[in-house]
Amino acid sequence: MFAIGHSANAQIVHNGDFGAGSPSTPTTTVLDWTVTGATGQVYLDQTGSYSGLQAYSGNASDYLLDLTGGVDGPSGSLSLGTAFPQYGEISQTLTGLTSGDDYLVSFALGNWSAYDYNGNLPGIQVAATVGSSTTYEDFKASPVGNGDYNLWNYEDTFEFTADASGTAALSLTGFAYDPDGGGLPTSSIAYIGLDDVQVTDAGPSVPAGNGVPDSGSTLIVFSVALAGLVLNRKFRGQPA
């Protein structure tokens, strides 16, 4: 997709595995994060502490978030894009960013069929505000078999570019959708898993069209140069 920069492994976000703090169900406080959204609360769960839920296995923490916050029926809709029913939201201001660099946001999105009422599925909207501009993307969990749980969909496709301020506001908002009913669900959902939030620097942004020419472009340049050489030899009266 693009080249990884000099600081690709540097972690920018704080407490992205939610391991700092004590589990509280539900809660309006998560260390290093601000909790808002339509429900105004989230679950901070620990593996084995609630109905068999387990944290994402990709990090050392055994904590995870449930963005429903224990409120199955949402009271609002997403403010960006499609009006999916909105649940809890967490946000954090990122600092120390390098102007002009691309940043990747990755995370694990959890799904459990026992909580997907009437076929509804969980999703997470990721948004980054840089200056006065906000970019966002909706990520939707994949369906799972009846009775399956702890299916983690790992996403790493969202990116944004930092500006001269060196800061960005990152938010992750839970929502519900119905894959079979035109998108908007007719009822609620009871689990939207979130874990392993990471932000990494992918290096300087490369504008479209400024990359290395492909083989076709190289052939065209070579052909034009050869044609010019032939014409120059003919002009001077030399045999081609």
pLDDT of residue 211: 54
Q: What is the mean pLDDT of residues 94-120?
A: 89
Beta pairing partners, 24: 44
According to DSSP, residue 115 is labeled G
Which option is the CATH number for 24-206: 2.40.110.10, 2.60.120.260, 2.70.70.10, 2.60.40.420? 2.60.120.260
pLDDT of residue 170: 98
The answer to whether residues 105 and 159 touch, using CB atoms and an 8 Å cutoff, is yes
Q: Which pTM was predicted?
A: 0.81
| Tens of pLDDT, residues 21-41 | 777 778 899 999 999 998 889
Q: What is the mean pLDDT of residues 69-85?
A: 85
> By percentage, how much of the chain surpasses pLDDT 70?
77
Q: Where are the domains of the chain?
A: 24-206, 212-240
- DSSP assignment string, 64-84: EEETTTT-SS-SEE-SSSS-P
pLDDT of residue 223: 45
In which element (H, E) is residue 36 found?
Answer: strand 33-37
The region of weakest confidence among 68-82, 129-143, 177-191, 212-226 is 212-226
**Structure tokens, 143:** 């369906």
CA dist 207 and 205 (Å) reads 6
Of 106, 32, 42, residue with least CA distance to 71:
42
Query: Which pLDDT band, with edges at 50, 70 and 90, does 189 fall under?
Result: confident
Angle subtended at Cα 149 by Cα 77 and Cα 34, rounded to the nearest 5 degrees: 40
The one-letter amino acid at 146: N
**What are the phi and psi torsion angles at 42 (to 5°)?**
-140, 165
Res 142 pLDDT > 70: yes
Res 57 pLDDT > 50: yes
The answer to whether residues 20 and 38 touch, using CB atoms and an 8 Å cutoff, is no
